Amino acid sequence: MLPSQRVFVNLFILIALVLSSVVSRGQTPISQQPSKPNSPDRVASQQSVVVDAHLTPEEIEDGQINEVYQPIYKIQEQRDYQKAIEQYRTLVIPMAEKAKFERPRKKFLYLAYSAIGACEMGLGQFKDAEEMYQKTFEYLPASPGVEDSENAVMFRSVGVARMRQQRWKDAEEPLQKAISISDEQIILAGKLKEDFMRKALTDDYGESQSISLNVLAIVYFREQRYSESLTLLERAYNQAITFHTSPTVVKQIVENGKAVSKVSGDSAASATWLQRSVAPN
């Protein structure tokens, strides 16, 4: 095997690892993540009437659906994907569809369909997963606000599902949308007055955008658009450092940068990426 071929194979393996981590990150977005079973703002139905009286009917309904959702999500975490899909379809979705209040209905339909998509990705059913990810947009805000991280995650998930079908050109648009949404949300988050929320949200959206840039760079690489791929990876790296992205994501970006620059024959880029072997925290 020629050196360039070996690098290409290694990059393809790395791509698979990157896509796997990207999908797993999209399963339970922050602002719609279900409350923990013992959380004080979600009281189980079997608890005292006195405690339940402090909850609104909408909160009670949310908690009831959450009680059904949580055990199924644990099944999903154990990678029993087929069982999880069946239970999301037969238990969570019918219950959410009958919800009296719009917020819990949309919340759990979104969570169920995005989770089914993630399960189908795990089973290698990429076209089915794409359809589930597309369906989530029926339950997400058309214009994401400062605390809505799900739209960017789902556009990225659609892009990843298309990539796994080797539909490289089709993957571009949703990934570009994910990047654009993150741009807007970073700006919105940066205007928040509370220091803690401003930093937490800008870092979260910055990391999300770094991941999307990294994935789109893989698409451009597969389309042999090496220069554009390296430009995106450079931006992804700078974003990751600026927004204190996790070392795992930074490492993925650096490894992709080293591999793409080597395959493209760009010696200057190779030298730059080799200096980034130890990714800063």
Whose tokens are 């990150």? That residue is 25
Note the pLDDT of residue 242.
93
Which of 196, 206, 193, 201 minimizes the C-alpha distance to 145?
A: 201
User: pLDDT of 32-59, one tens digit each?
Assistant: 333 333 333 333 334 444 445 588 999 9
Instruction: Please count the CA atoms within 13 angstroms of the CA of 111 that sit on its side-chain side.
Output: 31
Which DSSP state fits 42?
Answer: S
Give the chain's residues under pLDDT 70.
Answer: 1-53, 145-146, 277-281
Question: In angstroms, rounded to a whole number, what is the distance separating the alpha carbons of residues 141 and 236?
Answer: 26
96 CB neighbour count, 10 Å cutoff: 24
Note the pLDDT of residue 257.
96
Chain-centre distance for alpha carbon 52 = 34
Which of 12, 252, 21, 35 minimizes the C-alpha distance to 153?
A: 21
Note the pLDDT of residue 31.
34
Residue 96's contacts (CB-CB under 8 Å, 6 or more residues apart) are 65, 104, 105, 107, 108, 109, 112
Question: Whole-model pTM?
Answer: 0.81
Which of 147, 67, 153, 145 minimizes the C-alpha distance to 110?
A: 153
Mean pLDDT of the chain: 84
Architecture (CATH level 2) of domain 1-29+149-281: Alpha Horseshoe (1.25)
Note the pLDDT of residue 8.
43
Hey, where are the domains in the chain?
A: 1-29+149-281, 30-148
Whose tokens are 């200096």? That residue is 275
Region at 166 (left for phi over 0; alpha for psi -120 to 50; beta for the rest) = left
